[in-house]
Structure formats: C-alpha cells, structure tokens
C-alpha cells in the first residue's frame, strides 16, 4: 500500500509549464495527501539568474490559485481505474486558470 501511494505521489507530483509571455511561465503542482489531493498554480519569471517563483493569483478575485478534492488518493488503491475521474476536477481547475493559448496541445 505504501509503495503504491509513493508511486502515485511521484507520478502525480508533476508540473507543466506554459509560457504566458517571453518571461512569465506557469507551473502546476499536485499534492496527493492523505485527506485530499490539491492542485496549486504558480508563476515564475525566466531570467538569466535563478527563477523568481510566486503562487498564482486570480486577477479578478485576488485569491490564490489552488483547489482540492477529497478524500485522499489512497482511498482509491482498490479502484485504480477511478483515478482519472478523481483528478478531473483538478485538471479542469488548471485548464480554467491557464489561458488555452498557453497550454500544451
């Protein structure tokens, strides 16, 4: 069980980068915890120095860009085929908050 959860955590701790401009990029991070799975959107500026990372903020509501589904991913260890449907609300959230022109095709 722990190995399955660890493998899923590694698989789900992915990020996707989409270019907003020549310097601003998005990063999507999924955190599969024991009580729920969360998605966080971050932005960073590409520079010649170390990137400057900040949590994404909705321009209209000024709220941080994150969302959560419950219960934890570990509850699906006997139903692996349900993982895609479980994660879909988080994927939809990311799609709604990153401009389509900035998403990978």
Which pLDDT belongs to residue 85?
A: 96
Q: Tell me the H-state helices in the chain.
A: 2-12, 83-97
Q: How far apart are CA 11 and CA 32, in angstroms?
A: 10
Which pLDDT belongs to residue 3?
A: 42
Contact predicate 71/86, CB 8 Å: no
The pTM for the full model equals 0.67
Residue 21 has pLDDT above 70, yes or no: no
* Dihedral (CA of 50, 56, 57, 63) sign: negative
Region 74-99: mean pLDDT is: 92
DSSP E strands, the chain: 17-19, 24-32, 37-45, 52-55, 66-69
Residue the block writes with tokens 């998005």: 26
Residue 20 has pLDDT above 60, yes or no: no
Region 30-38: mean pLDDT is: 92
pLDDT-based confidence at residue 65 (cuts at 50, 70, 90): confident
Residue % of the chain over a pLDDT of 70: 62
Q: How far is CA 77 from the centre of its chain?
A: 21
């Amino acid at each position: 069980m722990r190995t399955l959860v660890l493998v899923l955590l590694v698989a789900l701790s992915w990020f996707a980068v989409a270019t907003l401009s020549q310097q601003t990029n998005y990063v999507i991070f999924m955190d599969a915890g024991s009580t729920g799975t969360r998605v966080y959107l971050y932005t960073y500026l590409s520079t010649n120095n170390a990137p400057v990372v900040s949590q994404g903020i909705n321009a209209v509501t000024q709220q941080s860009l994150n969302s959560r589904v419950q219960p934890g991913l570990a509850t699906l260890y006997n139903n692996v085929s349900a993982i895609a449907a479980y994660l879909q609300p988080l994927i939809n959230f990311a799609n709604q908050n990153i401009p389509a022109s900035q998403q990978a095709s």
